[in-house]
Structure 1
Amino acid sequence: MESIDGALIGREAEQEVLSGFVTATGGRALVLRGDTGVGKSALLDHVADLASGEEHRVIRAAGVEAESELPFAGLHQLLYPLFPYIDQLDDSHRRVFDVVFGRGEGAPPSVMALGIAVLDLLSLAASRKPLLLVLDDGQWFDTSSIEVCGFVGRRLSGGTVKLLIGLRSGVPSGFDTAALPQLLVTALSEKASEQLLDMRNPGLDPRIRRLILDEAQGNPLALLELPPHVMRGGRGPAASNRGELPGYAGTGIPLPVRLQHVYGARIGSLGDAVRTELLRGALDGVGAGTATTGHARGTRYRMVDADEAAACGLLDMDPLSGDFVFRHPLVRSTVVQTATVGQRRAAHAVLAHVHRKDVERRAIHLAASAVDPDEQVAAALEAAADSATLRGASLAAVSWLTRAAELSESHEERSRRLGDAAFVAGQAGLLDRAQQLVRSDIASGTSESPAAVLTSAYVALYEDGDVWSTQRQVLAAIENIRDGGAREPNEVLTRLVNLLLAISQYASDETSWERAHVLLGSLGGLVSPNSRIYEDAWGDVVRRGTGVHERVESALADLRALEPWEITRLGVAAYHVDTLSQYRPYLQRTVDREVETGAVASAMTMLHLVMLDQMAVGEWDEAERTGQRTLDLTASHDYALFVHHTHAYLGLLAAMRGRTERARELQATVDTWARPRGVGFLTQLADAIGTTAALTEGDYEAAYLHAIGITPPGAFAPYAHQAPRTLLDLVEAALHTGRTEQARHHALAAHRAGLPAVSPRLALVTYGALAMTATDPTEADDMFHRAETHPAAAFFPFESARIRLAHGIRLRHTQGRKAARRPLTLAAETFERLGTPPWAERARAELRAAGTSTPASTAHLAALTWQERRIADLAAGGLTNKEIGARMHLSPRTVGSHLYRVFPKLGITSRAALRDALSNIPDDKNV
């Protein structure tokens, strides 16, 4: 606002920095931060003019408070002018924008996926002409948009795209932690203030001039707006003699408030029709300054017949669209504040009709227009909350569901919606908010509602690991619903059932599970098909897991229709049957979205699942990083159960890697917390850490004692999820301590239990255990061959390498040293790639005993990188390039390029020869 005839007064230093920003080579981002009215918009205009002169394309957007709760509203506004370029993107990025722009259906993208797509779009748009993005009032951007803009802003180097953001000081926003460089815009100097005031208002009475300078304190907006207000007030020197301005009791009122009085006086002088137009525009988020050239979510309200407001300095005309826009954000906020409650409601009602095709905008305006309970408005808000949840905006969903409850016409509907809000709040990590919501629903003299039981039990479980009292609460609540004559499934019952199953999983107690089975059996068709999957997968997978894989695959066939917590629960079921890898890419894309404004609790479990799959497939460095991220997230939200759950997985990983001291520290931490609480799921994991650490160290007696603490040899303890997972551990420990009969008994028990039909990993380790314990050489050879050629071997390299190691040892004793070299070499190479020195040294020692001091196949395979070897293993297992790419987060083209380099290194010319090249290396190359 300090521009006079195109010149900026007192901004030489800022202009120099901004000129360098525009002319510098490469892309970059910059934040302008300053107080209200200090001149940020004028500087943004100046930069836009500079960029246009340098042949840049300039796109402008402005945050508005009315849209700060609408997910992706800011991003829609910013990217809409680039809409024509979207069809030129590759399929994956185009699908991302189809979802964001509403051109198609699909799973909402994560911050990272959307950010990468935005970078690709910007790069394409800037390929012909450099691009400048100007965001004013960024503090009012919605959280989702801020996350994406921050992601993009940190990655603009090297291109021809620049991002400039204006932020108001004193208003917190996500940009505060976006780690973007900043330029602070401060008040004008005394000299510059005088120059600006004198240029705009020459000949002022000296006393008025002095008073305005003192009041403005270098704020350009105040220097421009206060003089005409003083002169119109008609109190001139007399007022100045008392040290006050018209309409103020004194000078202690903050400057923005004083300016609102200035604008309020102008607004009050307008006719009713004009004020109505201004109010509708303000409530719908019409911008201040230059308007944007388009809006992705629909057209904002267009103010008409408002020339009177423009004449008195409240509105400007956008030069591109010809629409009225507010001269400054303070004008817009003053319009709203000076309107009566009734006037605001009437304006919202009109705006709800304007946006009748936009579920979320319509609902927000309807809610603001309502006075009394209105079921139609409540239903609209509920639909908006559902939309927000599916787009990863659970925080907005909580707010809208709460308002829907307030507007419900019956107590039953109010209670249901408050329960929904509490449930979503719990999933969003807002445990205190969830409890407040259900407490507000408990009427005096009434018993605790099912929704209140659900929330209190959820909080007690995840905050403190309380499995016993929560189980009693939830069982009783479900029984009450059943005995109350429920005839159809309902949301509260389904949530209680799923919570009961989660509690039972953590308890890992046979009695608890049997009670749950009996109760769920009595409910019959009231239990959803997905809940039946959880019942079978989360409890006793040995006895109930057959066929779960196919059911999970069917349930996850349409990810777009599933809420984040449904995807998470089904992911846990996939983990229990060892088919998690095929869903991991989606989980990784979803996590970033949910962590910020979505289902944070679901994101915690998703991170656990990602980590578990990384551990399974041998990406141990990545698993370590995922585990630490999970630990930070769970600790910051006080989810003590998830904190110790994460400690357990980090301990298991440390044990596999040979970091046994760290593993035992984590084991003790988990066991000390979980055992007194009866959290059997975690105590079993603690025993598994002890088993693995002892095996890694070669202390087989200790390993055996830890293993039989999970399950006795020859059986699989009911509802002990670690029992089948420690099959190979118990067998190896038993064999190395001379307990051959127990080892064989346990391997046969796995076969009789049908474990190979439950999961691919269990098939692999069952065949391995049978081979290790076989007394018949023919059976041993057959079982080792089954294990080593099983398609799952590539997905579980640690288990596969241990089986190869055992095979090599057996061959050395039965067929001689030369026969042992192949499996021992492959085992040693795998252990080295995984990064577990104790296991690698054990394999190398066996190789030395087999007559070679170095891994025999290293000369043949040394040229293969770890990534190339992994791709080769997966391809040998029968996966297509597309499937391998999804597993390793690479494009099919990149996978093909890797295989093109792998073939000559292995001396082969076709995919069909991969298996033999990897597992049947000629003897003359194994020396």
Structure 2
Amino acid sequence: MERAAGPTGGYAEDAERAATEALVIVEPMTPGRARRAAGIVGMAGLLGEAREHLDRRGGTVVLTGPPGIGKSTLLERLAEGYAGHTVLRCAPAESESQLPFLGLIDLLSTTGDDVLDLLPGHQRAVLRSALLRGGDPPPERGPLPLRLAVLDLFRVLCARSPVLLVIDDAQWLDGPSAELLAFVARRAAGLPLRALVAVRTDPRGRYDAGFCPGPVHALNVPGLTVTEVSQLLGDRWPRPVVARVHEVSGGNPFFALELGRALAESPPESTDDELPLPDSLRDLMLDRLGTLSEDARRTLLTATAAARPTLRLLRAAGRDGADEDVAAAVRDGIVEIGSGEVVRFTHPLLAAVVYAEADPGERHAAHAALAGAVTDPVERARHRALIAPGPDAELAATLDEAAVAARRRGAPAEACRLGRLAAEHTPPEDTDGFVNRLLTASEDAIAAGDLPESRRIAHEALAVASEPAQRVRGWLAVIDSAGQALAEFGDIFPRALADAGDDPALLAPLHYRLAWRAWLVEGSAFEAHEHAARSAELAARAGDRRTEILALAKQAHLAFFLGRPDAERTLARALSSPQDPRVMVDHNGPAFQRYRHHLLADRLEEARAELRSLIYLVRRRGAVESLCHCLHNLARVEVHRGRCDRALDVARQSLRLAEDSDLSQGPSWFSLALAEAAGGDPERAADAARRAEQHSADDGDLLFLPQAWFVAGHIHLMAGRNEAAVALLRRVRRSEEAQGLGDPAMRRWHGDLAEALALAGHLDEAAELIEETRARATRLERRVMVAVMDRAAALVAAGRGDHATASALARRSAMALAELPFRLEEGRSWLTLGRLRLGQNDARTARSALREARRVFAHAHARPWLALVTAELDRVRDLDRAQAPAAPSAALGDLSAMEAKVAALVAEGATNREIAARLFISVKTVEAALTRTYRKLGVRSRVDLARLASSPRTPVQDPPPDDA
């Protein structure tokens, strides 16, 4: 039997095509060019942290990492942000590290003689001599005169403008220059002197930054992710190949590009082939390995072939001198010994070169020895497969068993690899066994998040399969590998339905996928609900409880979306016995719908507990897509709970997982935008919203596209761009009402749209939306939505001039939300009340409401909202000043500036510890200032001081703005 390679051709053909289209590097690639080619993708967090340290604390940021990781490019990008500084640069080289003062000469190369002429004559002479600028030799000898001259020069430069030192490859800085900079650094307190330094770490991650002005903040430059490596290589290679490049390169962009060039020149014939190693990297690594003895090299070869090489395993595999061999490699910095005596290479490329340089016979011997030494059945089967050529029915069955074991232990990627090996060793006459093993491997690839590989394997199976059940199973794998991007696979469904015929067992899973397509691509919850109900009915007839549970869960979700009264009954049917353990941890299963039900009913703690339990189980099972969905939904729950830092962390986890697994990124970008808007940075939030829209539009995902518009509109509303918010949120309303949205708690955009309409002057439209939403929310017992509608109604009342009703509604909203777990909504209602009272020039009531908002947002770490509250509190203080008489109080006039600041913060209700933190002084200093203030003003308590300081007749010096 001749097996076809599939409708798209064989892997070797694809690889040859990729080789002609892949990135071809004509010029020699350098580490700096490598990172520039990679871009600054994924480095926004590191760049932001570096800038924040320099801007807020000064001192030095040190970028650390191995050669080629991109430190130089990041250094250049950071330096671009300091145009108003005097920037002094040097980039020493290893060959120049013994030349004294060369680093100082480079740093001061742009400092003209006009600056040196500002120094005293003897210092000028000493410095000109050290900088090789001619002149008579200095009369004084010894290091101190030069040190003092350099220190005074930096003082002169800093008096003109802030100074930024940019030192690249600082490990090669000559000793005399480093010593002079260290002398300056120890005496730089008070000077506007900052430094950006890139330094190469040694094999153990150590570096020297003793010459840097403090405080020193070290940031290790991370390697690229799998997705970034794929982008770097032009997105041309199958996911397993890219993953191998990422593994071998350690995420180093320079190494990854070199490997990519070798791939383009010598494409592998299958995804399991070893990567071709370019001469540049092979020579670099061979220099490190050159000191090894022959015995040590063979011991390390055995270590590279093992999944978890321990000294005990190496001895069991026949390497009797393993202890001595490994000890020698440790001394040379090639390997290190971890916990449990595990032997780890200090860089994956070292292991790759050891394996690549061995001849086939040596590799075969290493795998054969390990097959007899390892006790794990999965690893034993893998070694046996690597040394057994050709078809072998017994080996194929052993590999099947190993794949089952890998699947049970939550390693679907390994199960996929073993399943493909089992198919390769299947005898030609066993067509059914070959197809079934491929299809199982394709399903494992989906669970592992490797969607392109799943699709490739499924097409390989479909090229051979003739049985309807096998063909439908193959089409299902192709459909499931689409993720959210089902729009691209519309032509698959007719072919799959034709193969299914009238068999309910085959039709049921197809109708379940058709429900998803109608929901995601066609935007019709009504049609999707019909397909889900049809799938559940067919599955029940066929006795397919697994598909029945999934279909019932989807039917319940759509019923909730439509606001149907039978939603809870349908969910109860999905949750009833018998259950399927795999479905219960699936993001489309009934447990996930139970989380949604908790969220709809405003039970945030129960929703969070359900998701956390699912995440724990999904991590153990290894279903990547389910984990990604659970994480991005947990991020949204944490936003609602007012745990903004936690929301940001979880949303970023979800996005990294989506990027690394080639999953649709729209949902994760949406959750990240929501988390950034709540507790991060508004600009990052807007960028994430744009990316959410782009990915959802590219995928044809009508489910998340309106949510991307919603978060963008939400960001506009926060920024006061009311008309822009209205435009986007109206689009959301049109889209989701066309889909059939009946429960406002499913999406929660209604409050933002009503507020934006009211603030933009569209009062009648806002009132109509509020009335309609409040009626639905009341019928469905969605208490949070009712309270949010009260807040929006307050703005409508204010717009119509009914300020008493507006204040009453805003207060009612805040008080109702204080009894519910949606913390940010509570804070927003207090903020609205404060703004309304401020608009009526009622500073006292406004201040009280805004302090409540500040309390809620501060506890939630909701930084953008805190900034808005701070701005409103500034307006309250402006109102106080405007209402106060021109003549200041004589009593408060006796206070010092520090005492006046302390008094003002006491008036705001701050504790001594909070005052100390805001004014950057100690608690004891606050207590002393209060004691003096009491004595000067003749008061005895904080209450008296607050009353006096808050009096409109007694203006006080404003405290510094609150740190949002």
TM-score (norm 1): 0.48
TM-score (norm 2): 0.46
